[in-house]
Amino acid sequence: MGNRSESSDLDFILLGLFPGMKHVTFLVSAILLIYTVALAANSTLVLLIWADTRLHTPMYFLLSQLALMDLSLISSTVPKMAADFVSGRRNISRVACGVQIFFFLTLGIAECILITLMAYDRYVAICQPLRYALLMSQGVCWRMAALSWAGGALLSLVHTAYAMHFPVCDSKISHFLCEVMAILKLVCEDISAYEKAVVATSIGVLFIPLSFILTSYTLIFLAVLRMNSPEGRNKALATCSSHLAVVSLYFGPAMLVYMRPSSSHSPKLDQVLFMLAAILTPMLNPLIYSLRNKEVLGALSKLLGCCPNSH
């Protein structure tokens, strides 16, 4: 008995998807279908970019990094959530909870940095085409990717370590995953100062990049309007509209989750926003870029065209 009470002190209990909901089985099945599509779509996109030399450009290199991040992001939440649902097991150790928070935050922040750098890539391509090869060299692209992953990991490590060191008064997390804001609701101490620091960091990580992205796209659209070639104008607008769709899918839910004080957080709304950001968006991103992009579709048809000949 003593061991059991001790382990319950160490473990958190995830209450799962919308506790009390009648049709959770249907919802979990839909999420698993989305997960399967996301895995297939992102893996295919990475494979195409790696295999087709026509896609060996800075824009597609950065897009392949986004696909890898989306693959990792959805894989950090869905398998655990589905396993809990099937087994009926709800507990998660503090260490496992900390690891999930670290990976989720790392990937979320890394995507934010990367999406901002992708806006810079489009700005240089359209507004400074003569300097594009210099400003977006292979070395620069690798440094951008490294900055995204390392920046995400560093900021995530700070927040994960700090959030997990607080003593908690309750072990029940009203969520389907371990998440910083949900953990902070369980803390016994007055953490209003830390919550303000989280909101301040969120403004830095979300609002400043978003301002940079919007500035980049304002300059891009002004440059596009001055283009003489309708074909060039349409191609630039198609590429940029895909990127702006991804920006809105990413920044919308993230700002609603992390830029509100915890007192205004509703567990149900937070779960909807996390499902949109961490489950639906990783599936939509590759589809948005692929279905609107003739080069990606061309590479896919070339790959599929090669397959029958190989048998």
Q: List average pLDDT for each run of 10 residues in the chain, which is 311 residues long.
A: 42 78 83 94 92 90 94 92 84 89 93 93 91 94 97 92 85 84 82 78 82 91 82 77 84 77 68 85 87 78 65 42
pLDDT score at 272: 83
CB within 8 A of 7, min separation 6: which ones? none
pLDDT for the residue numbered 265: 62
Determine the pLDDT at residue 151: 94
The per-residue pLDDT for 260 is 66
Query: CB of 166 within 8 A of CB of 94?
Result: no
- For the chain, the DSSP string reads -HHHHHHHHHEEEE--SSTT-TTHHHHHHHHHHHHHHHHHHHHHHHHHHHH-GGG-SHHHHHHHHHHHHHHHHHHTTHHHHHHHHHH---EEEHHHHHHHHHHHHHHHHHHHHHHHHHHHHHHHHHH-GGGHHHHT-HHHHHHHHHHHHHHHHHHHHHHHHHHHTS-BS--EESSSS--HHHHHTTBSS--HHHHHHHHHHHIIIIIHHHHHHHHHHHHHHHHHHT-S-HHHHHHHHHHHHHHHHHHHHHHHHHHHHHSS-GGG--HHHHHHHHHIIIIIHHHHHHHHHHHT-HHHHHHHHHHHHHHHHH-
pTM: 0.86
Q: Tell me what pLDDT residue 7 has.
A: 36
What pLDDT shows up at residue 240? 81
pLDDT of residue 253: 83
